[in-house]
Amino acid sequence: MNSLSTFPITRKWPAQHPERLQLYSLPTPNGVKVSIMLEELGLAYEPHKVSFETQDQLCAEFLSLNPNNKIPAIIDPDGPGGHPLALFESGAILIYLAEKSGQFLPQAPAARYETIQWLMFQMAGIGPMFGQVGFFNKFAGKAYEDKRPRDRYAAEARRLLGVLEKRLQGRGWIMGEEYTIADIATFPWVRNLIGFYESGELVGIADFPNVLRVLDGFVARPAVIRGLNIPA
């Protein structure tokens, strides 16, 4: 195992437990995907808060780990071949952790790729579109007199919820009875849309009972409860 000191990011966020996986994040919908996954797996890790208020994500140390200046990012000191591995992009991190642990990603090839398909559905659709709804409904966009941009993204968010609603009909989770990284990626965003973004009424969330049912089951999981608040 190589020393983490070779990574410039550790100069700003020193590792107190260099033998543990290092998580650089913030409790946003993308950030908590990885903290929830780590809590579900029970892996030893050390969280580091990347504060948007002080623009930590733009500092040279963080950019050395993720040139795209987004959270979350990780360094696994015990990566493939026993060498440290640095990764960014939450979906890539979820796949890596699932394969490393052998959990939350089916082993059968067809089910594995179907799970990744739904993970990509979240990454390409639910995340970006729900984020736009949040901007136009709660943040700077709410001051715009022209509500057409807000309504466009709200309509697309509603369409995506409809896809998810249909998928969850008669299913416990996105992949059926098996809880997977597709759920871990998706439901923090659904929770945020309704809660933090205050957009439940805007998108007509009551019209999606299966989504709400599975969301309730998701947020009741002990690992999810812990992961939603990491880093503190």
> How confident is the model over 7-30, as pLDDT tens digits?
999 999 999 999 999 999 999 999
In terms of domains, do 208 and 119 share one? yes
Q: How many CB atoms lie within 10 A of CB 65?
A: 21
In terms of domains, do 115 and 220 share one? yes
> Count of domains in the chain?
2
Give the CATH number of the domain where residue 144 resides: 1.20.1050.10
The residue-averaged pLDDT of 161-174 equals 98
In terms of domains, do 23 and 120 share one? no
Higher pLDDT, 232 or 86: 86
Specify the pTM. 0.97
**pLDDT of residue 3 exceeding 90:** no
Instruction: Flag whether 75 is in a domain.
Output: yes
Question: What is the rounded average pLDDT for all residues in the chain?
Answer: 97
The C-alpha angle 31, 34, 39, rounded to 5 degrees, equals 125
177's CB contacts (< 8 A; 6+ apart) are 171
Asked which of 101, 117, 151 is the last residue of a domain, the reply is 101
In terms of domains, do 119 and 30 share one? no
String of DSSP letters for 106-141? -SSHHHHHHHHHHHHHIIIIIHHHHHHHHHHHHSGG
In terms of domains, do 141 and 40 share one? no
In terms of domains, do 144 and 208 share one? yes
Per-residue model confidence (pLDDT) at position 2: 55
In terms of domains, do 141 and 170 share one? yes
- Report the distance separating Cα 200 and Cα 49, nearest Å: 29
State which residues form the domain around 59. Answer: 4-101
In terms of domains, do 120 and 211 share one? yes
Asked which of 81, 101, 121 is the last residue of a domain, the reply is 101
Instruction: Flag whether 231 is in a domain.
Output: no
